[in-house]
Amino acid sequence: MTDVPRDPIAIDVGEVLGEVLSDVKRSVTSLYSSLVTRPTGRAVRSAIQLQVEGAGTVSLSLIDFSEVSIIDFSCADEVVAKLLQEYLDDGPPDAYFVFSGVHEPHRDQIETVLTRQALAAVVETHPGAFGLLGKHSAGEARVWGVLEEHGAIDAEEVDALLPGAEDREALGGLVRRRLAFRSPASGRVHALSRLVHHLL
């Protein structure tokens, strides 16, 4: 059994959006960088899910918004919040996500829909720098920061790095919320950002 998800997949939302809208006459170029209307968001999410479900029983995806100039609240809900919600329950596929290219024009929309639904996501805030976006506790943020600093925490390191019971509970919460990956083989907990670093 592998310690981490094999072959993380990179999904360019701008490219998926172009494919979804390929049947529309390309008279307005900016149309293909704007993620607006709920039906469009739903179609993009469905296309992403097809890739995720084809990646195996355990997958890690880097969802790149770099080529998306505008995203409205309905699409933030469909493409980010509903995508995360879909895979929170136990059972295959066991999917994890990191979001990159989340710029100011769409950061507020994504954060708003995540917070409203008590969800959180790992987001690349600047090149090579990551943070949590959405609803999370101060304890989860602190423990996530420790994990991010170390990259991974072995099972035997947990007590030393996270001596408080509340911190160990927060670590378990991060794993349950799919903001960190715990290897079923070794018990090692991995920062998602380290697992997708070679895709950035």
Residues 6+ apart with CB under 8 A from 96: 5, 59, 60, 61, 87, 178, 181, 192, 195
Per-block mean pLDDT, blocks of 10 residues, the chain (200 long)? 75 88 51 77 93 89 92 95 90 88 89 97 92 96 96 95 95 96 93 88
Instruction: Give the DSSP letter string of 125-157.
Output: EETTEEEEEES--HHHHHHHHHHHHHSEE-GGG
Q: What is the pLDDT of residue 6?
A: 73
Phi-psi region of 7 (alpha: psi -120 to 50; beta: other; left: phi over 0): left
Q: Is 16 helix (H, G, I), strand (E, B) or coil?
A: helix
Which residues fall within 8 angstroms of residue 173, CB to CB, at 6 or more apart? 137, 140
Vertex 40: Cα angle to 195 and 21 (nearest 5): 95
Alpha carbon of 129 to those of 29, 102, 194, 200: distances in Å?
31, 12, 11, 11
Residue 182 lies in a domain: yes
The answer to whether position 4 is within a domain reads: no
Is 3 inside any structural domain? no
Inter-residue contact 65 to 71 (CB < 8 Å): yes
Question: 48 lies in which domain range?
Answer: 9-199
Q: Is residue 86 part of a domain?
A: yes
- Rounded Cα distance between 138 and 103, Å, is 24
pLDDT in tens, 126-156: 888 999 999 999 999 999 999 999 999 999 9
Does residue 2 lie within any of the structural domains?
A: no
Q: What angle do CA 75, 47, 111 make, to 5 degrees?
A: 30
Cβ pair 41, 77 in contact under 8 A: yes
Which tokens belong to 56? 């195996």
- Within 8 A by CB and 6+ apart from 161, the residues are 146, 150, 153
Domain count, the chain: 1
Is 29 part of a structural domain of the chain? Answer: yes
Residue appearing with tokens 């420790």: 146
Residue 1 lies in a domain: no
